[in-house]
Amino acid sequence: MLRSHSENEMYLTTFMHRSFIRSLLDYTDVIHDNCSKFNTVKLEHVQRRACIIATGAIRLTKHETLLQEVGLETLKSRQRHHRLVYLYKIKNKLTPSFRSNLHSMINHNTLNYNFRRQNQIILIRTRTTCFYNSFFPAPIRDWNNLPLVVSSAISVTCFKNALNKTDEVNTSKKLYSLGHSYEKILHTRLRLGLSRLSKHLFNYNLCLSKFCDHCDGNTIEDTEHYLLKCSHYTTPRITLLLNVKHIICPDINITLLRDL
């Protein structure tokens, strides 16, 4: 099902990952985000696998670049968001009544404390790394680093929006989903910086030379050279530009490109 080749394959695969897989990974992440580094990497690998299937990217592609392409963030980043949102709910007594005892743990009398900013929470003293990274000590540290405009939000929705704005959460670009499957994969690989171009392969130690085989020995074969400059592709490039000329720039003189 994940490998179905439809017009919006990337969008559909990402949507399915968000709905059916990531929701499972997110379950109780407020608590389990304190797991070992080994398990964190294993969980993140599930998301990475979904990104590779969605984009058709080569396996060695950098993880951050992949996530940016499909508009996802790392699970670690999501866990931080979820912890902060949960802390907000506790602080504002929005949690269920049977958890009301949690409220007293973070709402202290702060009159005797000299905080640089309002709305901060007293840090909890820790002795072990495990407790230091667990719920309460870790999100309180994150909370105290939030801008006042975020921590003083008047509702959960406002808090989430302000948090997303501060952290510049990735969003997918619908334009990337347009086109046919194979062409989309080639475009994606060019954007991700790992395609069959010499410069991309050279950057990942997959090729001995970064220079273009079709030009003189000193011309680097990167995306710009391949799409706009390489003389080997002048004819298909002019055909392409003539077809899209009315969209990008009606006044452009395509024939000048022959001289490049």
Residues that bind Zn ion (CB under 5 A): 212, 214-215, 230
Strands (E), 6-160: none
Residue closer to Zn ion, measured from CB, 217 or 250: 217
C-alpha closest to that of 75 among 96, 44, 50: 44
User: In 3-state terms, what secondary structure has residue 135?
Assistant: coil
Distance between CA atoms of 225 and 232, rounded to whole angstroms?
A: 11
Residue closer to Zn ion, measured from CB, 150 or 230: 230
Residue closer to Zn ion, measured from CB, 55 or 198: 198
Q: Is 133 exposed, middle or buried (0-12, 13-18, 19+ CB in 10 A)?
A: middle
Distance between CA atoms of 140 and 121, rounded to whole angstroms?
A: 6
Distance between CA atoms of 128 and 63, rounded to whole angstroms?
A: 31
Residue closer to Zn ion, measured from CB, 181 or 239: 239
Show the tokens assigned to 37: 């580094």
Residue closer to Zn ion, measured from CB, 96 or 217: 217
